[in-house]
Amino acid sequence: MQKLQQLYAGKAKSVFATEDQDYVVLSFRDDTSAFDGERIEQLSRKGEINNKFNAFIMEQLAVAGIPTHFEKLLSANEALVKNMKMIPVECVVRNVASGSLVRRLGVEDGMELNPPVFEFFLKNDALHDPMVNEYHIATFGWATDEQVQRMKALTFEVNQVLKKLFADAGMILVDYKLEFGVFKDEVYLGDEFSPDGCRLWDAETRKKLDKDRFRQGLGGVIEAYEEVAQRIGVPL
Ligand code: CDP
C-alpha cells in the first residue's frame, strides 16, 4: 500500500495516509523523549527496534484475543495500522510501584502491588499528562462509559498475557501505558507497546531494561531494548 502525505507527527512516531482511508502507516523514528518532550535525543536504531518489538507484542496480543490496530510490518521502521480516532486518555496498570506512583504517594519503589493499580491520565503534554478519573472522562466527553469499561478490561487482559510473556523470559513487567482508539464503532488497542512505554526489570537483579535508562541517564538504552527483544524472541 502506497504511503501518502504525513497526517501527524508525535514525539516518537509519525503517521502517514495511504490510498485506503481505513489504514495509515506508523513510522517509528529514533527520537527518544522524556519529561513531556522537554528532553529529546536521537538513539540510533530505536525506531527499528520498537517497530519490530511492537509488531511482535501486538501479534501475541491478537492471538490472545485482544483487538489491536496492528495489521502488518511494512519495513524496518514502518507498520500498517487501522486508521482510528484515538481516545485522548492513557491507561496505566502497575504490578510493582515505581515512577510517578512513588512520587505521588511516597510508597516504596519496588513494592509489589496486589491487586495491580489502574490509573487514567489525560494525554496532554502542556498539562504534563494529569491523572484523571472516570468522572472527568464522562463529563468532558473523552470516551463513553462503555468505552471506559472496555479499555479497563482490555488493559487488564493485556496484563495477564504480557506479565507471563516477560516472566517466562526472566523479567518483571512493572508497569505499562496503553492507548486505545475507535475504528468502525469498536475499541481497539492502538499506539505501541515497547520498552518506551513500560517498565521492565530483570527478575533476578532488578536491572532496568526500559526507558528509565534514558530518563535517569543510566546509558545502555538501546542495548537494554535489544536484550529484552532477544530474550522474548523478537526477530530483529
Ligand atoms: O514515567 P513516569 O514516572 O513519569 O510516569 P508513570 O506514571 O510512573 O508511568 C507509568 C508507566 O507508563 C511507565 O511504564 C511509563 O513508561 C509509561 N508512560 C508512558 O509510556 N507515557 C506517558 N506519557 C506516561 C507514562
Classify domain 3-82 at the CATH superfamily level: Phosphorylase Kinase; domain 1 (3.30.200.20)
Query: Residue whose CA is closest, atom 24 of ligand 1?
Result: 177
pLDDT single digits (tens) 115-147: 999 999 999 999 999 999 999 999 999 999 999
pLDDT single digits (tens) 210-231: 999 999 999 999 999 999 999 9
% of residues, the chain, pLDDT over 70:
100
Cell numbers that stand for 147 in this block: 468505552
118 lines ligand 1 (CB under 6 A): no
Residues 124-130: contacts with CB under 8 Å, at least 24 apart: 124/88, 125/36, 125/37, 128/36, 129/36, 129/90
pLDDT over 90 (residue 96): yes
Q: Which atom of ligand 1 is nearest to the CA of 174?
A: 14
Q: From ligand 1's centre to the CA of 130, what distance in Å?
A: 11
pLDDT single digits (tens) 53-81: 999 999 999 999 999 999 999 999 999 99
Mutate to test the pocket of ligand 1, among 13, 100, 122 (most ligand atoms within 8 A of CB): 100
pLDDT over 90 (residue 111): yes
State the fold for domain 86-222. Answer: D-amino Acid Aminotransferase; Chain A, domain 1 (3.30.470)
pLDDT single digits (tens) 183-205: 999 999 999 999 999 999 999 99
Residues 134-142: contacts with CB under 8 Å, at least 24 apart: 137/89, 142/87, 142/88, 142/89
Query: Residue whose CA is closest, atom 19 of ligand 1?
Result: 197
Q: From ligand 1's centre to the CA of 62, what distance in Å?
A: 24
The pLDDT value recorded for residue 154 is: 99
195 lines ligand 1 (CB under 6 A): no
198 lines ligand 1 (CB under 6 A): yes
Q: Domain coordinates of the chain in residue numbers?
A: 3-82, 86-222
Cell numbers that stand for 82 in this block: 487501522
Q: In 3D, which of 123, 109, 110, 114 has the Cα closest to residue 151?
A: 123
| Residue 118 vs residues 101, 158, 164, 188: alpha-carbon distances, Å | 11, 12, 18, 18
% of residues, the chain, pLDDT over 90:
100
pLDDT over 90 (residue 1): no
